[in-house]
Amino acid sequence: MDNSSGPKKIGNWTVTVDRNLCIGAASCVAVAPKTFALDNEAKAIILPSAPEELPDTIMDSAKACPVAAIIIHDETGKQIFP
Ligand code: SF4
């Protein structure tokens, strides 16, 4: 299992979980269960199945994070969230 909080390329985006910000609220897991899980430190990691998730769902999960710990860059390297 890929035990990584990123940065990880998912489709055209690069997704990163800021482990220092993540408080393990698991909102991201609830919204995008193919993309995120919590590791044994209760920090979100990005799953190998993430490419199966719709980009809109991944964006929704980032918006659902109460501490904006999910950072998304587009294919040009521009930060598109938060
Ligand atoms: S929603 Fe945010 S704080 Fe909660 S587990 Fe996901 S990344 Fe961490």
Domain that holds residue 67: 8-81
Number of continuous H segments (helices) and E segments (strands) in the chain: 2, 6
The total domain count for the chain is 1
Reported as a single tens digit per residue, the pLDDT across 13-68 is: 999 999 999 999 999 999 999 999 999 999 999 999 999 999 999 999 999 999 99
Ligand 1 shell residues, CB under 6 Å: 17, 22-28, 36, 44, 65, 67, 69-70
Domain-located, residue 32 = yes
* Reported pTM: 0.94
Residue-level pLDDT at 1? 41
Task: Give the Cβ contact number of residue 29 at 10 Å.
Answer: 19
User: In 3D, which of 61, 44, 56, 32 has the Cα closest to residue 6?
Assistant: 44
Is residue 26 in a domain? yes
The CATH number assigned to the domain holding 22 equals: 3.30.70.20
Instruction: Give the pLDDT score at 61.
Output: 98
CB neighbours (10 Å) of residue 43? 17
Query: Ligand 1: distance of its center to the CA of 33 in Å?
Result: 12
- How far is the CA of 49 from the CAs of 9, 73, 78, in angstroms? 12, 19, 24
The residue nearest atom 2 of ligand 1, judged by CA position, is 65
Specify if 27 maps to a domain: yes
Is 64 among the domain residues?
yes
